[in-house]
Amino acid sequence: MAQLSKESEKNLLMRVPAFVRFFAAGILTFGLLTSEPAAAARDQNFDAWLQDLKQEALRGGISQATIDLALAEVTPIARVIELDQKQPEFTQTFWNYLDKRVTPARVERARKLLATHRDLLQRVQARYGVQPRFLVSFWGLESNFGDYTGGFSVIGALATLAYDERRGDFFRAQLMDALRIIDQGHISAQAMQGSWAGAMGQVQFIPSTFMGHAVDFDGDGRRDLWASLPDIFGSAANYLSAIGWRGDETWGREVRLPKGFDLELADLTLRKPIAAWQALGIRRVDGEDLPRADMQAAIILPAGYKGPAFMVYGNFRSILNWNRSILYAVAVGHLADRIAGLPSLSTARPESERPLSRADVEVMQTLLASRGLDPGTPDGVVGARTRAALKTYQRQVGMAPDGYPSFEVLDALRQSAGNASRGD
């Protein structure tokens, strides 16, 4: 889904009191626990909120007819709240994520679809400068080539989330844009289906991305991201171009690090010319020299120092602009490579990949904090601060400083804590 950052979701999940308040209210409203007077009071609150929203929409230039039609039947959707509150029990591991998304069947289908739509994709490339294999990769990852575009009423889902105080302002703005899209005649309120968070159509644009970047590539007067492939590819390419995509560059590549490589240099924010990485001993996975292109690159280790290393370019940042998950960005790049006939990753898979649970991560964060480091509020979610604190800890105790949350580092932290309490 475009533009919903993992970090911001994490921060919001931490505001537990608001969530508890809303969920309690939700239970009453949605009749899971029947309490007639409270339910009636809550409905009145929603109705009052909706009246206010309708006034704002009218002031914002949306027609009365659209407001009446689109918001006539709207009520909070319990399932949207449930999905919004859902917290995964385990952390996502690299191979599990990648293997689920870049399957042989998906690669095969992507190649066929690229061949089928080659003419269209090349016309889109000529206008916006995005290579067909990347457009097909985004399309495959966002909706399995249009198979899954989400079955929620976008207006209903966004109204539910806008009414929730935790991210009310963000979703209220999205709801206004959704009404604008209907008002402009691109899609009817009824046909405007999407994900529980309001991501729409075959490349899952949220309404503000649609307003800013969707295009009418087939020229029928409507921007249709649900059914028009020209509009879908054109819009994805136009958006990528706006967020810095370079059509003459690829996303990155898997590389081989030299023995004794300083892991501190593996950092998305640390960019060097490819030639500088070559001088530091980094090579292609087959041992050959790196490309002689005048490009800035960063080295990343999304599965820690034991996993594959990647050298990533500016387009990798554009993918992160679309969706801030590093695993998502690697999946987009790798699927695009496989579509082009490049091989699977060369780094061997670990025999087993045991994911850390939220509880494990919370213990890790608590132990890091007790050492005077700053992993953020212990919430069981690994973010940038937790990674930075892990890196510092690893450096302090002489472990490979990759900032990767593994059982190895959790065990070391537990042992350090045990030693400290015994006064060693």
Q: Is 408 in the site for Ca ion (CB under 5 A)?
A: no
Give, in order, the Cα–Cα distances in Å from 331 to each of 153, 240, 347.
28, 16, 15
The rounded distance, in Å, linking the Cα atoms of 194 and 201 is 6
| Least separation in angstroms between CB 226 and Ca ion | 11
Residue closer to Ca ion by CB (options 127, 222) is 222
Residue closer to Ca ion by CB (options 53, 232) is 232
Residue closer to Ca ion by CB (options 161, 225) is 225
Which stretch in 100-108, 213-221, 331-339, 364-372 sits in contact with Ca ion by CB under 5 A?
Answer: 213-221
166 with 18: CB under 8 angstroms? yes
The single residue listed with the structure tokens 């703005």 is 173
Residue closer to Ca ion by CB (options 142, 231) is 231
Residue closer to Ca ion by CB (options 214, 301) is 214
The encoded tokens of residue 119 equal: 């003419």
Which stretch in 165-173, 194-202, 217-225, 412-420 sits in contact with Ca ion by CB under 5 A?
Answer: 217-225
Identity at 351, one-letter amino acid code: E
Q: Is 222 in the site for Ca ion (CB under 5 A)?
A: yes
Which stretch in 7-15, 80-88, 209-217, 290-298 sits in contact with Ca ion by CB under 5 A?
Answer: 209-217
Query: Shortest Cβ contact with Ca ion: which residue?
Result: 216
Binds Ca ion (CB under 5 A): choice among 9, 43, 56, 216 = 216
Residue closer to Ca ion by CB (options 113, 215) is 215
The rounded distance, in Å, linking the Cα atoms of 419 and 405 is 21
Which stretch in 17-25, 219-227, 278-286, 368-376 sits in contact with Ca ion by CB under 5 A?
Answer: 219-227
300 with 329: CB under 8 angstroms? no
The single residue listed with the structure tokens 């400068």 is 129
Q: Is 231 in the site for Ca ion (CB under 5 A)?
A: yes
| Least separation in angstroms between CB 228 and Ca ion | 5
Which stretch in 17-25, 215-223, 327-335, 384-392 sits in contact with Ca ion by CB under 5 A?
Answer: 215-223
Q: Which helix (H) or strand (E) holds 41?
A: helix 36-59
Which stretch in 220-228, 239-247, 370-378, 396-404 sits in contact with Ca ion by CB under 5 A?
Answer: 220-228
| Least separation in angstroms between CB 185 and Ca ion | 11
| Least separation in angstroms between CB 194 and Ca ion | 18
Residue closer to Ca ion by CB (options 221, 281) is 221
| Least separation in angstroms between CB 236 and Ca ion | 14
Q: Is 317 in the site for Ca ion (CB under 5 A)?
A: no
| Least separation in angstroms between CB 123 and Ca ion | 14
The DSSP letter of residue 200 is B
Task: Work out whether the CA dihedral 234, 236, 238, 241 comes out positive or negative.
Answer: negative
The rounded distance, in Å, linking the Cα atoms of 261 and 179 is 53
Q: How many residues bind Ca ion (CB under 5 A)?
A: 7
Q: Is 220 in the site for Ca ion (CB under 5 A)?
A: yes
Name the E strands within 274-422: 283-284, 296-300, 309-312
The DSSP letter of residue 167 is S
Q: Interior CA angle at 213 toward 211 and 217, to 5°?
A: 110
Residue closer to Ca ion by CB (options 49, 226) is 226
The rounded distance, in Å, linking the Cα atoms of 205 and 370 is 42
| Least separation in angstroms between CB 222 and Ca ion | 5
Binding mask 360-389 toward Ca ion (x if CB under 5 A, else -) reads ------------------------------
Strands 283-284 and 272-273: unpaired
Judged by CB under 5 A, the chain residues 123 through 182 that form the site for Ca ion are: none
Residue closer to Ca ion by CB (options 28, 215) is 215
Give, in order, the Cα–Cα distances in Å from 310 to each of 214, 283, 298, 329.
31, 11, 8, 11
Own/partner pairs for 402-408, CB < 8 Å, 24+ apart?
A: 402/263, 402/266, 402/301, 402/304, 402/305, 404/301, 404/303, 404/304, 404/305, 405/91, 405/356, 405/361, 405/364, 406/304, 406/356, 407/354, 407/356, 407/360
The encoded tokens of residue 187 equal: 């899609």
Interaction site with Ca ion (CB under 5 A): 216, 218, 220, 222, 224, 228, 231
